[in-house]
Amino acid sequence: MSGVFITFEGPEGSGKTTQIPLLADFLRSRGHEVLTTREPGGTPIGDQIRAILSDLGNTAMHPRAEILLFLASRAQLVEQVIRPHLAGGGVVLCDRYADSTLAYQGYGHGVDLGVLQNLLLFATGGVFPHLTFLLDLDVEAGLKRRAQGGDWNRLDAYALEFHRRVRRGYHQLAKKEPERWVVIDASQPPERVQAAIRQSLAERLPFLTGG
């Protein structure tokens, strides 16, 4: 596979959806074929799965069912979108990926991390990111931004303590693989966040930014 796969992770309201298109435009201006996508979703089948996951009425959803739905959406996205674009030498920017499962289902809900790693290998067919940006933000600040945006869903409604475990989980994951992760302070104004992302990209993958 000759392309570059970059993922964005972080808590609710950390600004991933603002930052990804800005970075995509920048990389296109440098001559790259850039594809942006998101999880859960990113394909017609994935979007249907996303609707089930987000539905506030689905309070009975068992954690194992939830995991398998996330993974089903991901398997479809990998084969239909991510793998072909990488094979063509393009850049893929993805809003959430396998690390969300480790952070939310693993650290957040306490599902065994080893089990999840095996499931992730199966679901992704071994396609993992070259670089991952963690847009790190205080949990209360993120949830407040999210609620103000009026975009509240079933998954945001988990307890505050859950979201704190998720954030700590992200920090653990970043610590375990520092060569893959870049932690960005997402409490900064959006233009500063974007500048920090581009700066890190120039350091980690200089051939992408042309510098």
Q: Contact positions toward ligand TYD, by CB under 6 A?
A: 12, 39-40, 70, 95-96, 100-101, 104-105, 153, 155
How many CB atoms sit inside 10 A of residue 103's CB? 24
Least distance in angstroms from the C-beta of 73 to ligand TYD: 7
Residue with smaller CB distance to ligand TYD, 94 or 208: 94
How many CB atoms sit inside 10 A of residue 67's CB? 21
- Output the six-digit token pair for 4: 């570059």
Alpha-carbon torsion (31, 33, 39, 40), positive or negative: positive
39 and 100 in contact (C-beta within 8 Å)? yes
Residue with smaller CB distance to ligand TYD, 113 or 155: 155
Q: Parallel, antiparallel, or unpaired for β 131-136 and 91-95?
A: unpaired
Least distance in angstroms from the C-beta of 181 to ligand TYD: 17
Nearest residue to ligand TYD on Cβ basis:
104
Least distance in angstroms from the C-beta of 31 to ligand TYD: 29
Least distance in angstroms from the C-beta of 47 to ligand TYD: 11
Residue with smaller CB distance to ligand TYD, 139 or 208: 139
Residue with smaller CB distance to ligand TYD, 3 or 108: 108
CA distance 154 to 58: 8
CA distance 38 to 17: 9
163 beta partners: none
Residue with smaller CB distance to ligand TYD, 111 or 208: 111
CA distance 167 to 138: 8
- Output the six-digit token pair for 126: 């071994």
Least distance in angstroms from the C-beta of 203 to ligand TYD: 26
89 and 33 in contact (C-beta within 8 Å)? yes
67 and 101 in contact (C-beta within 8 Å)? yes
Least distance in angstroms from the C-beta of 52 to ligand TYD: 12
Residue with smaller CB distance to ligand TYD, 32 or 38: 38
